[in-house]
Amino acid sequence: MVPERVDAARNRTRLLDAARRLIAEHGAANVTMDDVATTAGVGKGTLFRRFGSRAELMAVLLDEDEQASQQAFLFGPPPLGPGAPPPARLCAFGEHRIRFAHRHHDLLSSLTRGPRPPDNPPDSVLRTHIRILLAAAGTTGDLDAQADALTALFDADYIQARLDAGHTLDEQIRAWQSVATKLCGH
């Protein structure tokens, strides 16, 4: 693999920082490639050579945060990471992912219009993690279906719709945790 040129790496960082700032200020749906290039102080051609499309730029932004999230629940401290009992880890994981989906609503919503395939890499990691925790907790029944049901509740648009209907984020977290602990037999 050819190492990235210093100026190319700097431009990548500037573009990603500009995109994050614009999304925070205006929402992902209102950010254009022109806006990102102008804010980053680079030409539009540089942006398109680096990312190819708006969708690819948004996917890279989300991927970086997904990787950090995965590191936290796979290797971080308990109760989210290893070392806590499976039901406690599952509850911490539910809170972590609901907050993640809420924080990244605009970005997730812009990337995930329509149903996603079950083998979508981020969803697959989440589903597998939930399934492993359910199994470790001694849960019986169809673990795949149970993991699918819990994962579906992480949908950013669903979480936003519940917020719009008057359900707080904390209420949604408690509801998710209630279902998860019941599946664990607690």
Q: What is the pLDDT of residue 95?
A: 98
* 68 plus 43 within the same structural domain: no
Measured CA to CA, the distance from residue 94 to residue 182 in angstroms comes to: 14
* 33 plus 21 within the same structural domain: yes
Q: How many domains does the chain fold into?
A: 2
End residue of a domain, out of 37, 52, 67: 52
SS3 at position 94: helix
* 72 plus 2 within the same structural domain: no
Q: What is the pLDDT of residue 123?
A: 84
* 95 plus 135 within the same structural domain: yes
Q: What is the pLDDT of residue 157?
A: 94
Say which CATH number the domain at 4 has. 1.10.10.60
Q: What is the pLDDT of residue 120?
A: 63
- pTM for the complete prediction? 0.81
* 15 plus 34 within the same structural domain: yes
Residue 2 lies in domain: 1-52
Nearest to 59 by CA among 22, 111, 97, 14: 111
End residue of a domain, out of 52, 70, 92: 52
Measured CA to CA, the distance from residue 119 to residue 110 in angstroms comes to: 19
* 3 plus 65 within the same structural domain: no
* 147 plus 158 within the same structural domain: yes
* 105 plus 170 within the same structural domain: yes
Mean pLDDT rounded to a whole number for the chain: 91
Give the chain's residues under pLDDT 50.
none
Residue 145 in tokens = 């279906």
Token match 């992912």: residue? 97
* 149 plus 179 within the same structural domain: yes
Share of the chain residues as helix, strand and coil, in percent rounded to the nearest 5:
75, 0, 25
* 25 plus 109 within the same structural domain: no
* 107 plus 170 within the same structural domain: yes
Measured CA to CA, the distance from residue 40 to residue 87 in angstroms comes to: 44
Residue partners of 185: CB distance under 8 A and separation at least 6: 137, 138, 139
* 100 plus 146 within the same structural domain: yes
Measured CA to CA, the distance from residue 126 to residue 110 in angstroms comes to: 20
